[in-house]
Homo-oligomer: A and B are copies of this chain.
Amino acid sequence: MTDEPHKPAKRPLTLRDVSEASGVSEMTVSRVLRNRGDVSDSTRARVLTAAKELGYVPNKIAGALASQRVNLVAVIIPSLGNMVFPQVLTAISEVLDQTPLQPVVGVTNYLPEREEKVLYEMLSWRPSGVIIAGLEHSDASKAMLRGAGIPVVEIMDTDGTPIDSMVGISHRRAGRMMAEAIMKAGYRKIAFLGTKMPLDHRARKRFEGFTEALAKKGLEIVDQEFYDGGSSLAKGREMTARVLERSPEVDFVYYSNDKIGVGGLLHCLDAGIDVPGRLGLAGFNNISLLDGFSKRLATMDSGREEIGRRAAEIIAARVEAGSDEMAGERIELSPTISRGDTLRARPAGGDYPE
């Protein structure tokens, strides 16, 4: 073998190059590189040496085309800015790391058209499965998912009918649970602060469940405000200040996520408002943003770690088995409330008339 310095490598190397360099047929080289079939130790060694020497990187495109197998799982999520999704992703990766499968991420920014485009692009690579956030998709997206002939797991939400499998929580139930906990603690003048919800279906469902549970006890939202764009502490702060000024009777604020919730909490601390005595607060998602604060915001854990894990397990099992045994699996997890320091039974509370 030559000892010349490695050249710029204009044409990428092929199996053939390794075959020639090692004096072994392409087929056998391929076997060695994939650990398939029996190959004598001596030829194996020769091939491996040659491949490393040359710096050969197999061409998966050709491999996938020939074998009709692509070990990719499309994971389609709305955003990377909301830490919830990186966390789900991490859980997915941990499971898939034990398998030959690999996640490939697509981001939709909560836009259905964008989701459609991302999905189309990903499906055109013929992945082995799809994990996609939410149950709401355009008709075209649904058609693509159904037509792809691969396992599809819709995650995060269970309020609706999945295309195939689903793993998540009921956000309606989550909203109801929080409303009940708040009322039970004795709060009565409740406000809501959240994103504009036409596209964030899960936030909308929580809101619906929340108001529904209030209505059942004869209560209504006292005040509410919605914002555009991403969440930030600053927004939570400002909106909270405005609501409290506009509706001083408010004794609880329910936020659609922890980030603006913590912003609200900061406002209260600065303004010297007694939390949770004069005012209670709660968010959603149990984002670890909180864990260094003197006061922990009441929130709800959506089980995103488990969601990611179980979704990946379903895909892995179905791809591996080739069987459709787990097809149509529907897993609803239970969200759990953590009261933190901002949702406590009030002296007069806990005695809600049934």
The answer, yes or no, to whether A123 is at the interface (CB within 8 Å) is: yes
The answer, yes or no, to whether A6 is at the interface (CB within 8 Å) is: yes
The answer, yes or no, to whether A65 is at the interface (CB within 8 Å) is: yes
The answer, yes or no, to whether A222 is at the interface (CB within 8 Å) is: no
Pairs of residues from A and B, 10 with the lowest C-beta to C-beta distance, nearest first: A233-B292, A80-B86, A234-B292, A60-B124, A55-B147, A263-B292, A9-B147, A234-B291, A9-B149, A237-B292
A112-165 at interface with B (beta carbon < 8 Å): 120-121, 123-126, 143-144, 146-149
User: Which chain B residues lie closer than 8 Å to A186 at the CB level?
Assistant: none
Stretch of A18-26, A102-110, A201-209, A213-221 with 4 or more beta carbons under 8 angstroms from chain B: A102-110
Nearest-CB residue, chain B, relative to A262: B292
Copies in the complex: 2
User: Which chain B residues lie closer than 8 Å to A289 at the CB level?
Assistant: 233
Which residues does A use to contact B, with CB under 8 Å? 6, 8-13, 55, 57-62, 64-65, 70, 80-81, 83, 86, 89-90, 93, 102, 104-105, 107, 120-121, 123-126, 143-144, 146-149, 232-237, 262-263, 266, 270, 288-294
Say which residue of B13, B81, B149, B292 sits within 8 Å of A8 (CB atoms). B149
Say which residue of B146, B270, B293 sits within 8 Å of A294 (CB atoms). B270
User: Which chain B residues lie closer than 8 Å to A12 at the CB level?
Assistant: 126, 148-149
User: Which chain B residues lie closer than 8 Å to A294 at the CB level?
Assistant: 266, 270
Q: List 16 A-B contacts (CB under 8 A).
A: A9-B148, A9-B149, A12-B126, A55-B143, A55-B147, A57-B123, A57-B124, A57-B144, A60-B126, A61-B65, A61-B126, A80-B80, A81-B83, A102-B121, A232-B292, A236-B292
Say which residue of B60, B86, B146, B234 sits within 8 Å of A81 (CB atoms). B86
Nearest Cβ on chain B to A347's Cβ, whole angstroms: 26
User: Which chain B residues lie closer than 8 Å to A90 at the CB level?
Assistant: 80-81
User: Which chain B residues lie closer than 8 Å to A143 at the CB level?
Assistant: 6, 55
Nearest-CB residue, chain B, relative to A114: B97
User: Which chain B residues lie closer than 8 Å to A57 at the CB level?
Assistant: 120, 123-124, 144, 147-148
- Report Cα–Cα, A90/B105, bound state, in Å: 13
Nearest Cβ on chain B to A5's Cβ, whole angstroms: 11
Say which residue of B10, B13, B61, B120 sits within 8 Å of A64 (CB atoms). B61
The answer to whether A70 and B61 touch (CB under 8 A), given A6-B143, A236-B292, is yes
Query: Are B149 and A10 in touch, CB under 8 angstroms?
Result: yes
- Report Cα–Cα, A28/B167, bound state, in Å: 43
The answer to whether A232 and B288 touch (CB under 8 A), given A9-B149, A57-B124, A266-B293, is yes
